[in-house]
Chains A and B, each alone.
Chain A
Amino acid sequence: MSWIRELYYYRYFIRTSIVNEFRARFVRSRLGAAWMILNPLAQVVIFAFILSEVLSAKLPGIENKYAYAIYLMAGTVGWSLFAEIFNRCLTVFIDNGNTMKKLAFPKSTLPVIVVGSALVNNLLLLVSVIVIFAMLGHTVSSAILWLPFVMIVTIAFAVGLGLFLGVLNVFIRDIGQIMPIILQIWYWFTPVVYMEAILPKGYGKYIALNPMYPIISAYHNIFVFQKTPNMTGIGVIGCISAGLLLLAVFVYRRASAEMVDVL
């Protein structure tokens, strides 16, 4: 458990790293931190504008005329949390290679910094989405109390998978090239933009194999349908994530001796 002590000693470094990351990202842009929210929202607007006519009729159980936009935003918040953490974990060692070569510091701080800054991003997005919901006449119910559990599982899944592939990516850089493509395909295999109901019959059992499906469904249940998400599904993903995290730690331990040499 020495890594917990290390993280405690380096808590200040973790905090400044997260703050510096935002500073560095926005230091030369006019709108600064607003870009964090504007980017995903722009995507929502584009999809809503293009697809709402096609899809709006097929959203049962919700009366609001902006139902599709609400559905889209709820899924986007969940997916962007996963995608940001996953993408950053995938390159976390390569991005920090220079520092790792020059200074000895606990590497366990790196995923914590990634999660910290992604979480700040995501919470800002979440708050702005809730405000937009209110403007569209859609309120948030007590189902939101389930959200922290869903987010924890989402983060664990993204970190576990991301770090495992992130370690491999140091040695096999093709992984970093191919993952954005796979992620794109994965996104379209997850009901974020479309409704599950529009899928042709028989695809239901395949979509159940998608680990992001229970997560995005939970976001939909919490925000769109205002009901308790399927926590069994979330629990299963939680177990898978724990396994992935252990795998990532194991692979990191085996690789760490050679990692700095190839960075």
Chain B
Amino acid sequence: MSGALDVNGVAKAYRQYKGEIQRVASWFVPNVYPAKETWVLEDISFSLSPGEAVGIIGQNGAGKSTLLKIITGTTKPTNGSVQVKGKIAAILELGMGFNPDLTGRQNVYHSAGLMGYTSEQIDTVINNIEEFAEIGKYFEDPVRTFSSGMQMRVAFAVATAFRPDILIIDEALSVGDSYFQHKSFDRIREFREQGTSLLFVSHDKGAILALCDRAILLDKGHLLRDGDPEEITDYYNALIAEKANSTIEQVVMGNGGIQTRSGTAEAKVIEVALYNAKGQVAEYVGVGERVELRIKVKVYQSIETLVLGYGIKDRLGQVMHGTNTWHTKQVINKPNVGSEYEFVIAFQANLGVGSYSIQTALVDRDTHLTANYEWLDLALVFNVINIDKVHFAGCMWIESRITIEEYGK
């Protein structure tokens, strides 16, 4: 393996000794051992090719931040090694250790110095940094007067002032306002085109799907999955609802997609089908066509309430539309064990041309976090084609009319 970044069998343990005296003794004497070792990361291996973007997801405490710290070099791994080719820039947490009493400009020089740049090098980019951060005259004010969003702007501008070979971003971007997020994403995309690899930690599934070529799922210190972002985020979604006697299974479907089914199985979706305007089962539907999504559900065990949720996802896994019968006030109370229900969802396929998938969820209320009977990703895949509309771009169809009037003469 020889990528921009190679992580080989990295493990991290926090060591606790009976007392700190024992810890100090262990530096000098070989046979003093820690009383307790807590492994927060175990046997993590992956590599990153130049220009590749990898998202890291996982619940709090999964070890994401520790892993990033090891890769950036602020923490050392207990076992294993990290090989980096080229320069790393990291935005871990907020602020990069700005000094609150110094001005934005002084802090920029200080932080860039910490990254190993000389004054001459910083002089050449200081104007770009100031422009990119867009915080106006605050740039000359002490950092203690900055809002967290402003600190984030300056931190991002400094970290990306020079194109790094590997850019590491830990959640930080979610702090910024959406205008700055767009701007940051643009800069990240630009860097990637020039060969920068990206390592991105986020809870924001949309950002991972939009930016990353690959995703890695960490759970309790282990690398659980490494693969396509949509597959991994679906799996993660199933994982966060995992409870006692719940299962997760992923099935490779005919079209290469991976279907994720998870839950406690009190109720299950037994059939999903899409019907076109003529009442036929359809794989292709026209833009704007009236269609019906019919979902058959069977109840296997006694439950208090049954709510069906569904979502239409695009090819990148972003939800185009989704709702559930909790919001539409059609909750089924105390469904009979053994009975089947058919939900018919009629809608107009006002979607852009492309491939879409349906996800379904059987839950007890408005989220799948209290009870998750079944969650099914890629329950069905269908395609939208443009039959009778004018050519248009984008992911949705909006009925529009253009009028032109000529003035003059």
Q: Which residue numbers of A lie inside 8 Å of B, CB to CB?
A: 9-13, 16-17, 20, 23-24, 27-28, 98-105, 168, 171-172, 251, 254-258, 260-261
Chain B's closest residue to A174 (CB) is B20
Whether A99 touches B97, Cβ cut-off 8 Å, given contacts A23-B102, A171-B23, is yes
Q: Please determine whether A102 and B92 come into contact, CB atoms closer than 8 angstroms.
A: yes
Whether B72 sits at the interface, judged by CB under 8 Å, is yes
CB-CB < 8 A to B185: which residues of A? none
Given contacts A101-B92, A103-B74, A254-B28, 14 further A-B contacts (CB under 8 A): A10-B113, A16-B109, A23-B106, A102-B93, A102-B95, A103-B92, A104-B72, A104-B74, A104-B88, A105-B115, A168-B24, A171-B23, A254-B27, A257-B76
Bitwise, B1-37 to A at CB < 8 A (1) or not (0) is 0000000000000110000110110011000000000
User: B325 interface residue, CB < 8 Å from A?
Assistant: no
0/1 string, B128-168, CB within 8 A of A gives 1: 00000000000000100000000000000000000000000
> Is B206 close to A, CB under 8 A?
no
Binary contact readout B52-96 vs A (1 if CB under 8 angstroms, 0 otherwise): 000000000000000001001111101000000000101011011
| Set A13, A20, A171: member contacting B102, Cβ < 8 A | A20
Cβ-defined contact, B106 with A13, below 8 A: no
CB-nearest residue of chain A to B77: A257
CA distance A92 to B113 in the complex (A): 18
Q: Across the interface, name the chain B residue whose C-beta is closest to A104.
A: B73
Q: How far is the CA of A10 from the CA of B10 in the complex (A)?
A: 29
A254–B27 Cα distance when bound, in Å, is 6
CA distance A199 to B72 in the complex (A): 57
A168 contacts which chain B residues (CB < 8 A)? 24
- Output the nearest chain A residue to B34 by Cβ-Cβ distance: A258
Given A24-B101, A98-B97, A103-B90, do A172 and B113 touch, yes or no (CB 8 Å)? no
**Interface flag for B118 (CB, 8 Å):** yes
Q: How far is the CA of A12 from the CA of B116 in the complex (A)?
A: 8
Q: Does B343 have its Cβ within 8 Å of any Cβ on chain A?
A: no
Whole-angstrom distance between the Cβ of B113 and the nearest chain A Cβ: 3
Cα A13 to Cα B97 in complex, Å, equals: 14
How many angstroms between the C-alpha atoms of A20 and B101 in the bound complex? 9
Q: Is there contact, CB below 8 Å, between A103 and B113?
A: no
Q: Interface residue tally of chain B, by bracket?
A: 35 or more
- B300 CB to nearest chain A CB (Å): 48
User: In the complex the two chains form, is B115's CB within 8 Å of A261's CB?
Assistant: no
CB atoms of B114 and A99 under 8 A apart: yes
Q: Is B119's beta carbon under 8 Å from chain A?
A: yes
Question: Closest A-chain residue to B28, C-beta based?
Answer: A254
Contact of B115 among A101, A103, A251, A256 (CB under 8 A): A103
Q: Are A16 and B110 in contact (CB under 8 A)?
A: yes
Q: Which of B15, B69, B101, B102 contacts A258 (CB 8 A)?
A: B15
Query: Which residues of chain A are within 8 angstroms of B88 by Cβ–Cβ distance?
Result: 104
- Which of B20, B88, B117 gathers the greatest number of chain A CB atoms within 10 Å? B20
Chain B residues contacting A98 (CB-CB under 8 Å) are 97
Whole-angstrom distance from the CB of A84 to the nearest CB of chain B?
Answer: 20
- A10, A12, A20, A103: the one within 8 Å of B97 (CB): A103
User: What is the CB-to-nearest-CB distance from A178 to chain B, in angstroms, rounded to a whole number?
Assistant: 14
A9 to B118, CA, bound (A): 8
**Is there contact, CB below 8 Å, between A102 and B97?**
yes
CA distance A105 to B112 in the complex (A): 11
The CA-CA distance from A172 to B19 in the complex, in Å, is 9
Contact check, A172 vs B24: say whether CB atoms are below 8 A apart: yes
- Give the shortest distance, in Å, between A102 (CB) and chain B (any CB): 5
Report how far A254 CA is from B97 CA in the complex, Å.
26
CB distance from B30 to the nearest CB of A (A): 11
User: Complex: how many Å from CA A20 to CA B107?
Assistant: 9
Q: Is the CB of A9 within 8 A of B116?
A: yes
What's the Cα separation between A258 and B78 when bound, in Å?
Answer: 9
B99 interface residue, CB < 8 Å from A? yes
> Quick check: B74 and A17 within 8 Å, CB to CB?
no
Q: Shortest Cβ distance from A253 into chain B, in angstroms?
A: 9
User: What is the CA–CA distance of A108 and B362 in the complex, to the nearest angstrom?
Assistant: 58
Query: A258-B15, A261-B14 known; A17 and B101 CB under 8 Å?
Result: no
Residues on B with beta carbons closer than 8 Å to the beta carbon of A258: 15, 23
**CA–CA, A28 to B14, complex, Å?**
41
User: What residues of B have a CB within 8 angstroms of the CB of A257 in the complex?
Assistant: 76, 78
Cβ contact within 8 Å between B110 and A256: no
How distant is the Cα of A104 from the Cα of B68 in the complex, in angstroms?
A: 12
Are A105 and B114 in contact, CB atoms less than 8 angstroms apart? yes
- Which residue of the partner chain, among A16, A27, A102, A171, contacts B113 with CB atoms under 8 Å? A16
| Residue among B20, B109, B113, B142 facing the most chain A CB atoms (10 A cut-off) | B113
Cα–Cα distance between A101 and B117 once the two chains are bound (Å):
19
Q: Assess A100 versus B74: contact at CB under 8 Å? Given A24-B101, A251-B27, A261-B14.
A: yes
Q: How far is the CA of A258 from the CA of B22 in the complex (A)?
A: 14
Instruction: Give the distance to chain B from A128, nearest Cβ to Cβ, in Å.
Output: 26
